[in-house]
Amino acid sequence: MPQVRLDVCLLEMSQNAVALIYAACRQCYSEKFAGDIYSEAGINPEKEEEFIRKVVSSGHESPLEHVKFTFAVQGVSRALTHQLVRHRVASYSQQSQRYVKEKQFDYIIPPSFERNPESKKEFEKMMQEIQVGYDKMLGYLSQAGITGEAANQDARFVLPQAAETKIVITMNCRELMHFFKHRCCARAQWEIRQLSMKMLDICKEKLPSVFMGAGAKCESLGYCPETEKFSCGRYLVKEKIIKTK
Ligand SMILES: Cc1cc2nc3c(=O)[nH]c(=O)nc-3n(C[C@H](O)[C@H](O)[C@H](O)COP(=O)(O)OP(=O)(O)OC[C@H]3O[C@@H](n4cnc5c(N)ncnc54)[C@H](O)[C@@H]3O)c2cc1C
C-alpha cells in the first residue's frame, strides 16, 4: 500500500503522421487527390512540416483530427481522472474498482502534504485506516453472501479520491492541443498539469511541426486570457494589452 508517482507511456500514435496531416491539409487547397498527395509525401519533409506549421498557426485545425496518440497512464489519483474524463472528445479505458479488488490500494500524496512530515504521516495513517475500513466492509458483505464484483462495487464507496488508478487515453491532435491549452496552464490543478506537461513533452518529441508551439493558452495567444487575480504573471493579461494599445 505505498505512495506512487505519475508514469506516462506512449502506446501508439498514427503511422506517417506528417504525411497524413499534410495530405489532409493539401486536399483543402489542391486539385490533386489526397490519396496521391499522401503517396508522394516524404519527398520533401521540411516543406511538408513547414506547411503544417503554417496551417496550425492559422487556426485551421480540422486536419489535425486525423492523427491520434494513445497513452497509458498510471500513478494518478481518481481526483485526476475525474477531471480528465470531462474532456469528451477522447477515448478512455480505466481500471475498474468493481473488477479489480483493492487488496492494498496505492495512493497519491499531494506535494503540500508531502512537504510537511507531520501531515504526510497523518495522511498515510488515514490511508491505512481506509484500507482497514474497506476490508471490514468486504467482510460484512461476505457474511451476507455478497462476494466478487458485487462486493467490490459497494466496498469502493469508502475509498478516497487519492486512490491510485490506471487509464488508457486516446486523443487526436486537435483535442490534445485543446487539452494542453487548459491543463498546462499554471491555474490548472497540479496533478492534471503534471500529466499534461508529460504528454506535451512526448507530443513535441514525436510531432514537433504540430506541437512545438503548443501548451497553455498564453503560449499561442501571447497574452493571458485570465483576469489579473487569476493570472500567473508570465504574460500580460488581455485588459492590459488592450489598454496599452
Ligand atoms: C482551471 C479549470 C477549472 C475548472 N473548474 C471546474 C469546476 O469548478 N467545475 C466543473 O464542473 N468543471 C470545471 N472545469 C472543467 C471545464 O469546465 C471543462 O468541463 C473541461 O475543461 C473540459 O473542457 P471542454 O469541455 O472544453 O473539453 P472537451 O470536452 O474536450 O471539448 C472540446 C471542445 O469541443 C467542443 N464541445 C465538446 N462538447 C460540446 C458540446 N456538448 N456542446 C458544444 N461544444 C462542445 C467545445 O468547443 C469544447 O471546448 C475546469 C477546468 C479548468 C481547466
Instruction: List the helix and strand counts (H, then E) for the chain.
Output: 12, 4
- Ligand 1 midpoint to CA 85 (Å): 10
Which pLDDT score, from 0 to 100, does residue 178 have? 97
Residue 178 near residue 186, CB atoms below 8 Å: no
Q: Which of 59-63, 200-204, 223-227 has the highest mean pLDDT?
A: 200-204
Which pLDDT score, from 0 to 100, does residue 240 have? 80
pLDDT, average across residues 108-115: 96
Is the distance from the beta carbon of residue 85 to the nearest atom of ligand 1 less than 6 Å?
no
C-alpha 180/C-alpha 22 separation (Å) is 22
Q: Which three cell numbers stand for residue 203?
A: 507530443
Is the distance from the beta carbon of residue 88 to the nearest atom of ligand 1 less than 6 Å?
yes
C-alpha 159/C-alpha 102 separation (Å) is 9
Which pLDDT score, from 0 to 100, does residue 45 have? 87
Choose which residue among 80, 181, 182, 227 to substitute to test ligand 1 binding: the one with the highest number of ligand atoms within 8 A of its C-beta. 182
Q: Is the pLDDT of residue 244 over 80?
A: no
Type of residue at 34: A
At 71-100, the pLDDT tens digits run 999 999 999 999 999 999 999 999 999 999
Is the distance from the beta carbon of residue 86 to the nearest atom of ligand 1 less than 6 Å?
yes
Residue 205 near residue 49, CB atoms below 8 Å: no
C-alpha 73/C-alpha 208 separation (Å) is 22
Residue 198 near residue 6, CB atoms below 8 Å: yes
Annotated catalytic residue 183:
yes
Which pLDDT score, from 0 to 100, does residue 1 have? 65
Residue 76 near residue 108, CB atoms below 8 Å: yes
- Ligand 1 midpoint to CA 86 (Å): 6
Residue 27: pLDDT band (50, 70, 90) is very high
103 to 94, 132, 210: CA distances (angstroms) = 18, 10, 43
pLDDT, average across residues 211-217: 94
Model's pTM, two decimal places?
Answer: 0.94
C-alpha 75/C-alpha 5 separation (Å) is 5
- Lowest-pLDDT range of 96-105, 134-143, 225-234: 225-234
Residue 227: pLDDT band (50, 70, 90) is confident
The active-site residue out of 78, 174, 183, 193 is: 183
Is the distance from the beta carbon of residue 20 to the nearest atom of ligand 1 less than 6 Å?
no
Q: Which atom of ligand 1 is nearest to the CA of 183?
A: 53
| Domain annotation for the chain: domains and CATH numbers | 7-74+82-90+168-214 (3.30.1360.170), 98-162 (no CATH), 216-245 (no CATH)
Residue 185 near residue 217, CB atoms below 8 Å: yes
Which pLDDT score, from 0 to 100, does residue 43 have? 82
C-alpha 135/C-alpha 86 separation (Å) is 31
Span between the terminal Cα atoms of the chain, in Å: 57
Is the distance from the beta carbon of residue 182 to the nearest atom of ligand 1 less than 6 Å?
yes
Q: Is the pLDDT of residue 42 over 90?
A: no
At 159-211, the pLDDT tens digits run 999 999 999 999 999 999 999 999 999 999 999 999 999 999 999 999 999 99
Choose which residue among 83, 86, 229 to substitute to test ligand 1 binding: the one with the highest number of ligand atoms within 8 A of its C-beta. 86
Is the distance from the beta carbon of residue 125 to the nearest atom of ligand 1 less than 6 Å?
no
Is the distance from the beta carbon of residue 65 to the nearest atom of ligand 1 less than 6 Å?
no
For residues 51 and 220, the model is more confident at: 51
- Ligand 1 midpoint to CA 181 (Å): 11
